[in-house]
Amino acid sequence: DGGITQSPKYLFRKEGQNVTLSCEQNLNHDAMYWYRQDPGQGLRLIYYSQIVNDFQKGDIAEGYSVSREKKESFPLTVTSAQKNPTAFYLCASSTLRTTNEKLFFGSGTQLSVL
């Protein structure tokens, strides 16, 4: 089945530790995105990538890093510099044939701090 797979579903981070969230898509989408969702809030854009080996900062990129070595994969690293990492993280993808394409989401990763 085509879709977006995020793993793990739950992740715990110790203070000072970097953790990496996985996002894989088999939809052949060009663009991939990472969003952060805090309880009772909307989604805020962390990073996005429109092409392999290129990515752009979103609105809240500080304390996060990404890579896009393959079209299918867009992992997000939450670094120790991110002082408030507890949140629900959502990966999304879309085509870039036009600017008016639908966005599709993975099932999310809940990150908590120990």
User: 58, 61, 65, 75: which one contacts another protein (CB under 8 A)?
Assistant: 58
User: 11, 22, 27, 43: which one contacts another protein (CB under 8 A)?
Assistant: 43
User: 11, 27, 31, 60: which one contacts another protein (CB under 8 A)?
Assistant: 31
- Residue 101 C-beta-side C-alpha neighbours within 13 Å: 15
20 binds another protein (CB under 8 A): no
Shortest distance, position 6 Cβ to another protein, whole Å? 10
Name the residue with tokens 């969230």.
21
The contacts found for 36-39 with CB under 8 angstroms, 24 or more apart, are 36/60, 36/87, 36/88, 36/89, 36/90, 37/87, 37/88, 37/89, 37/90, 37/108, 38/87, 38/88
49 binds another protein (CB under 8 A): no
10 DSSP β-pair partners: 110
Interacting positions 63-102 with another protein (CB under 8 A):
88, 90, 92, 94, 96, 99-102
> Are the C-beta atoms of 73 and 53 separated by less than 8 Å?
no
Where on the chain is the footprint of another protein (CB under 8 A)?
Answer: 31, 35, 40-45, 48, 50, 56, 58, 88, 90, 92, 94, 96, 99-105, 107-108, 110
